[in-house]
Structures are given as C-alpha cells and as structure tokens.
Structure 1
Amino acid sequence: MNRLTSLLSPVPFTSKRKQTANSQQKLVALPRAISRLPQAGAANTQTEIQTFTPLHYEPNYSYPLLVWLHDDGGEARDLQRVMPLISVRNYVGVSIAGESLGARRGSGWSQSAEGIVAAENKLADALELATNKFRIHADRIFLAGNGVGGTLATRLALRNPERFAGALSIGGAFPSGQSPLSMLAAARRLPLFIAHCRDSERYPIERLCEELKLFHTAGMSAAIRQYPCGDEVTTQMLHDMDVWLMERVTGCVCEPTPAPIGEDWN
C-alpha cells in the first residue's frame, strides 16, 4: 500500500475583507461564482491559496471543484501532491492554508468560533479565486481534507449544506462543539465520505462507532471506508475518493477497484 509522507510554499493571496465570529451570514451562491463573506471589519488579511489545473484543461467545460484542507502541520502546497493521486483530469483543485503554527511547524486549524469564521473567510477567497480563474460547475463543489482538515471540511460543508455537493474526510473525526448540526434538515441531504484508519490513535474506532449512532439518530447517511493503517494517507484512500466523487458527478455507480500504483509514488 502506498503511503504519503507529510503532505511544503503557498501562493499569497490578498483578501480585502474579513468576517468576525459574531456574523452569522452564510456563503451566497452567484450564477458563476461564489461571493466573499460580507465585511465585518476593516483589517486586511492575507490568505495563502494554491490551485491545481487539470490535465488538458478545457475552458468550455464546467469542472467539478475540489477544495483541499490540509492536516495540522501541513500547508496549502500539499494540494500539488494530493491532486495527481486523486485524478489529473477530473477536477479543478484549490487549497487554503490554516493559521501558522510557528517556524518549521506548518499551519493548523482552530475549531473555535473565531477559527471557524477565519476558515470560512479563507474558503470564500479561494472559491472566488477558483471561479474567476476556471470554469466551475456551481453545483459540483466539494470540500475535502485529511486529519483536522477533514474535520473542518465536514464542518464548513455542514454550515452551508446547500452550497456544497459533498464533504470528504480522511482520518478526521466528525466535528463536535460549535453546533455542527444546526442546519440538520439540509445536512441530511449532504453526501459525506469518511475514510477511517483502523489503527488510528487520533480517531479511534470507538469514536467512529459513536458517530454512527449520531448519524442514525440524526437521520444522516455517510459512505464509510476503513483502511488497515495508522494515521496516514494512502493512495487507495485517494483513489476511492475519486470513485465516490465521480459517482456524485455522473450519477453512475462505479465498481470498486484497486488504486493504480505509479512509479513516482511507489
């Protein structure tokens, strides 16, 4: 099984507006773009964003967009390693960086109210950049991530379940605290993909079992895959993500297949 080592410099992107934790406004869909969250402060922020252009990009085709959120200790540039292992053709990719954890420690995500709002602002910047740079299908925008990034991807999708086509988490627990199911009726229709590492120390099987009970009680459903590994990302996980995503995009069920093994990643 191919394993990826630490998924390191992002491209600076200047954001002119910022939302505060007290603002309750949601992302607003536009015909061919996604709006920035409304201004609630005068300070400027800088967001680090990376984009991935699919092979043989066709400007007249509306592509699905995959937003990638790195794990703690990662960075936006992780996107350039992850996307080729998911698919080099099927999606436009974009990623954002969390808050700096200090020199040589990468970036991370806070699950506090302020941290969630900061992530939403960065996400809005990334969506605006991607939809301005590429032709994106407005109904095929997916959030994904690994570890803490996977938890945050699920959380942000649940806060705007009608805006996103699905959320995918690799080794990241279902979010807790800050009312992740405050929009439960719409959240029931949000497709979820969870890749669980059987030997994980951060996301043990006991917690997954508790989450399954929550899903049942809340009337939610999720595609759950378990892999014989510890806290890591494997090529099989990313391949299975691609299969699940294309099922959502095409409406056709695909047969499970082993991940192709490329020499560059063996």
Structure 2
Amino acid sequence: MEDRNSFAEGMFAEGSTLAGSERKEITRRRHSLPRAIVAPLHYEPNYEYPLLVWLHGTTGDHENELLHVMPQIDLRNYVAIAPRGVEVGADDKAWGWPQTPEGIAEAEARVFELIETAAKRFCIARRKIFLVGHSTGGTMALRLAWRWPEVFAGVVSLGGPVPCGERPLARYREARRLPILLVVAGESPTYSPASAACDLKRLHMAGMNAVLRQYPGSSELSPLVLADVNRWLMELVLTL
C-alpha cells in the first residue's frame, strides 16, 4: 500500500494502460465533481485542525448533507469535507456508495483527492483525519478506513452495516488499532439493533476496537446522536 502523502499522485499504478491524457481527463472530471467544504468559524491559519470526512447516505442524499450535520456536530474545531457519491440512479439524481470493486475504487479516489484539496486550502493535522458516514456512506467509511488504517484516526458509521465481500479486512492486523463507533437508531427501518449487535460481535471476535451505541427514534442524524459523535471524536483528538 502507498503511504498517505503519495496517494493522490499514485492513483494510477505504474504500467497502467491508460494514456497520460486519459488519466488527466479522469482527474479533471473528479476535481469538477460537486463537493461540500465547511471551514471552521474564526479559522486560525497556524493551527492544525482535525479533518472530518463525511460520506452521505443514499436515498435522495448528496454532499450537502454535510451542511445540515456540521452545525449539530461542531462548527469551530474541524475542517469538514464531503464528496458526492457515485451515481446509482438511472435519472442521474441519486448518488451512493456501491460495494462493488469499481464503486469502492471510485469512492477511495474521491475521498483522497478531496483530502488533498482540503490540505492545500487549510492547515490540517494529518494524524487527525476521521471518516464519518451515514447509512451506505457509513458502510463505505468503514471499508475505506480499514483499507487505509495508517491514514485515518477513527471511523464512525451512523446506521451503516459492517461491509462484507471484497475482503474488507484484508489489512486486518493494521486495522485492529483503529477506533470504530457504530451508531444504530432503535426504530431504524434499514439497520436494526439486532443486526448492529451481530456486527459488533463479529468485530469483537476479530479483535477490532469497536463500540456500539443505540439511540431512541428512527434517525441516526438527531442532535443527540451528532453531539455524542462530536464528543467521541474530540476524545480521540485530545489523545493523538
């Protein structure tokens, strides 16, 4: 695996059959994709901020979900970014995070290119980059964090099941150190507390550093949940 600083430059492996012009066109298209960026209030250019990478849910959601959740998380202590997901609807108005080899590779590329964009615009603490995802975005957040445990300092899945298929724990030994927060809503129609408990059991059997928190209601994006996510993240920030 490449190190985090060379990832953006090494997106295409040596010997790729893509010509240089094709690689440049793919990179140009990704740079032109919609994304959301939230700068901290009273930004201090000499202070290294934690970076929160948000992966939106699927049903009618997109990168602007970040603009609704950050006021309930924290507007002062993070730089926050959100890429748009991959098109999953025939009408080009639905975006998500398909768990296919192509979908995983595209999600990885979008996340890392946006991280580098944020690092060029803001003062980022490279050891304090967190992935937070909602619904299918939570599943993808877990997958990407386990693929790159040297890059991310923690990962939160809000109502997103633990990924399966495509070897999500191929880097099991390195990924065991990564703090994981699973969140489930007690009345969730898509990810039940029983399913979350099974996921937690599987993670603990694998020796993963995971906790599960259940909240009342049917939404994982309530003010109570997001305030607790902030507290969990800040506890990590203060120990790094």
Instruction: Say if 1:207 and 1:172 are closer, same or farther in 2 by CA, change over 3 A.
Output: same
Instruction: Say if 1:171 and 1:37 are closer, same or farther in 2 by CA, change over 3 A.
Output: farther
1:147 maps onto 2:135 in alignment: yes
After superposing the two structures, state which structure 1 stretch, 192-201 or 130-139, moved more.
192-201
Match of 1:193 in 2: 181
What is the correspondence of 1:25-174 to structure 2 with a 5 Å cutoff?
25-26=1-2, 28-30=3-5, 35-39=8-12, 40=16, 41=18, 42=22, 43-44=25-26, 45-46=29-30, 47-72=33-58, 73-100=60-87, 101-103=89-91, 105-174=93-162
Mapped to 2, the partners of 1:103 and 1:85 lie a distance apart of 32
Mapped to 2, the partners of 1:74 and 1:226 lie a distance apart of 23
Question: 3-state SS of the aligned residue for 1:57?
Answer: coil
Question: Structure 1 residue 145: deviation in Å?
Answer: 1.1
Question: Structure 1 residue 106: deviation in Å?
Answer: 3.2
1:219 maps onto 2:207 in alignment: yes
Q: Identify the structure with bigger relative contact order (alpha carbons < 8 Å, sequence gap 6+).
A: 1
Mapped to 1, the partners of 2:239 and 2:90 lie a distance apart of 44
Question: 3-state SS of the aligned residue for 1:122?
Answer: helix
Question: Structure 1 residue 211: deviation in Å?
Answer: 1.3
CA contact (8 A) 1:109 1:148 kept: yes
Question: 3-state SS of the aligned residue for 1:117?
Answer: helix
Question: 3-state SS of the aligned residue for 2:104?
Answer: helix
CA contact (8 A) 1:154 1:174 kept: yes
Mapped to 2, the partners of 1:124 and 1:104 lie a distance apart of 23
TM-score by length of 2: 0.88
Mapped to 1, the partners of 2:141 and 2:114 lie a distance apart of 14
For residues 130-185 of structure 1, the C-alpha deviation after alignment (integer angstroms, 9 at most, x for no partner) is 00000000100000011001111111001011110010111111111111111111
Q: Which has the higher helix share?
A: 2
Q: CA RMSD in A?
A: 1.8
Question: Structure 1 residue 120: deviation in Å?
Answer: 0.6
CA contact (8 A) 1:36 1:125 kept: no
Structure 1 portions without partners, runs of 5+: 1-24, 253-266
Mapped to 2, the partners of 1:54 and 1:155 lie a distance apart of 27
Match of 1:11 in 2: none
Question: 3-state SS of the aligned residue for 2:212?
Answer: strand
Question: 3-state SS of the aligned residue for 1:76?
Answer: coil
Question: Structure 1 residue 38: deviation in Å?
Answer: 2.1
Mapped to 2, the partners of 1:153 and 1:55 lie a distance apart of 26
Amino acid paired to 1:95: A
Match of 1:234 in 2: 222
Question: Structure 1 residue 236: deviation in Å?
Answer: 0.8
Instruction: Say if 1:181 and 1:196 are closer, same or farther in 2 by CA, change over 3 A.
Output: same
Mapped to 2, the partners of 1:198 and 1:142 lie a distance apart of 25
Aligned residues: 225
Mapped to 2, the partners of 1:56 and 1:34 lie a distance apart of 30
Question: Structure 1 residue 232: deviation in Å?
Answer: 4.3
Mapped to 2, the partners of 1:29 and 1:105 lie a distance apart of 32
